[in-house]
Amino acid sequence: MNSYSNIRKISAIGDPFWERTQAAGMSGVVAKNRGDGLMEVAGKAFINMCSYSYLGLDSNPKILEGSIAALREAGTLNSSTSRVRIKLSLLDEVESSLSELYSLNALTTSSCASAASAVLPLLAAGVLTENTPPLMVFDRSAHFCLSLMKPICADETQVLTSAHNDLEFLEDCCRKNARVVYVADGVYSTGGVARIKELMMLQEKYGLFVLYDEAHGLSIKGKNGCGVVLEEMGGLNANTMLIVSLNKGFGGSGGAIFFDDSIKRSSLLRFGGPLSWSQRINTAGLGAILASIQIHASNEISVLQARLADNISRFDELVPSAAEGDGLPIRLIPMLDEVHAISAAQELMRQGFYTSPLFYPVVPKNTPGLRIMLRANLQDADLVKFCTAVRSVL
């Protein structure tokens, strides 16, 4: 039992910390959105420092108007039919525009997690690797939506878990197995990045196949916001797939799968679980994505990326951390223990800033901290004030 997951154990250990966090008013917060990361609870305003909207596009008027325009044109919120049977022309327009933007093939999904549950079983079965079931190696820090699929993948092929970014272990697996798939995040949700260039070398040497979760990397870097992985790689190759979020940095809705011409679109659609079910991004979400694509295709994206980079550098200047200089918008500030993490978050909230206290299983045992997300639309005065507040709780 519990060869690939142990939900009962995770729940038993993690639930007390969640209870303390909620009792402290730091989770389950019901707030009013005032735009640009500013929110309000019981008449008191605060700045959300845990927003995934790294470029501030969640409040962009063009994207909001794109949603409304799509609803009016389609005259329906949902088509309520499997896309394999019937689909709106808007869905085709969005996917062809997204594919053109990044010079690859794109399929949209209701979420990044549903993209993971669509792709991983097919990879494990060998459907996407020339009908050769590969050895599946999951990075220990891969996102929960990826790791949750381990038992299903293990029903199709052998599944292993590697230490975080342990490419020596991975290369040994490549030497001993004809086909290996590595499952990892491009940018990890608690900070840090995959060793992309070195993974490309293993792809070249052994034919390693890599599936990246690029939920946190899309939009923040690269031409047209292609993201951390594609910028580093210089484009998609036949041994790489990406699952991405379109509602974080991208500012739209749902998720997507990025793949090249070597993978049959029909295989994904017909046998990729959630892709053939009736749930998909609704009409408003598709309109938001289309508007965001237009922003990403314009000079506006590079302006937003530059603002984000400036804010990341400013934060690193004022609050040094282990991740200093990596150019990524996620910072995990270590705390002494879970009590310290929760009390520090409470104090920051009192000063007008929401941060997220993290503990196991979100982070490894005995490594609690505060997760901070930086955004392009943070004003310098607010960022300086926030950094001063963070230093006061260390």
Do both 247 and 343 map to the same domain?
A: no
Instruction: Break the chain down into helix, strand, coil percent, rounded to 5.
Output: 45, 15, 40
CATH of the domain at 14: 3.90.1150.10
Give the chain's domain count. 2
Do both 291 and 304 map to the same domain?
A: no
Establish if 48 belongs to a structural domain.
Answer: yes
Q: Of 115, 64, 105, nearest to 260 (Cα)? A: 105
Establish if 1 belongs to a structural domain.
Answer: no
Measured from the Cβ of residue 223, the count of other Cβ atoms closer than 10 Å reads 13
Do both 172 and 151 map to the same domain?
A: yes
Do both 290 and 320 map to the same domain?
A: no
Q: Where are the alpha helices (DSSP H) in the chain?
A: 7-23, 61-74, 89-102, 112-125, 144-147, 150-154, 167-176, 196-206, 228-233, 265-271, 283-296, 300-318, 338-350, 380-393
Do both 84 and 221 map to the same domain?
A: yes
pLDDT reported for residue 391: 97
Do both 33 and 86 map to the same domain?
A: no
Question: Are 259 and 103 within 8 A, CB to CB?
Answer: no
Between CA 207 and CA 293 the distance in angstroms is 32
pLDDT reported for residue 263: 95
Do both 101 and 233 map to the same domain?
A: yes
What is the torsion angle, in degrees rounded to the nearest 10, for the CA atoms of residue 136, residue 214, residue 13 and residue 344? Answer: 150
pLDDT reported for residue 271: 94
Do both 236 and 345 map to the same domain?
A: no
Burial of 350 (0-12, 13-18, 19+ CB in 10 A): exposed
CATH of the domain at 269: 3.40.640.10
pLDDT reported for residue 199: 98
Measured from the Cβ of residue 303, the count of other Cβ atoms closer than 10 Å reads 12
Do both 41 and 79 map to the same domain?
A: no
Collapsed DSSP state (helix, strand, coil) of residue 99: helix
Establish if 38 belongs to a structural domain.
Answer: yes
Do both 204 and 335 map to the same domain?
A: no
Point out the domain boundary residue: 273, 296, 319.
296
pLDDT (tens place) for every residue of the chain, 394 residues total: 788 888 898 899 889 999 999 999 999 999 999 999 999 999 999 999 999 999 999 999 999 999 999 999 999 998 888 999 999 999 999 999 999 999 999 999 999 999 999 999 999 999 999 999 999 999 999 999 999 999 999 999 999 999 999 999 999 999 999 999 999 999 999 999 999 999 999 999 999 999 999 999 999 999 999 999 999 999 999 999 999 999 999 999 999 999 999 999 999 999 999 998 878 899 999 999 999 999 999 999 999 999 999 999 999 999 999 999 999 999 999 999 999 999 999 999 999 999 999 998 888 888 999 999 999 999 999 999 999 999 999 9
What is the domain extent for residue 40? 7-54+299-393
pLDDT reported for residue 280: 86
Establish if 2 belongs to a structural domain.
Answer: no
Residues 6+ apart with CB under 8 A from 80: 278
Point out the domain boundary residue: 277, 296, 315.
296
Do both 30 and 150 map to the same domain?
A: no
pLDDT reported for residue 366: 87
- Reported as half-sphere exposure (CB side, CA atoms, 13 A), residue 199 has a value of 26
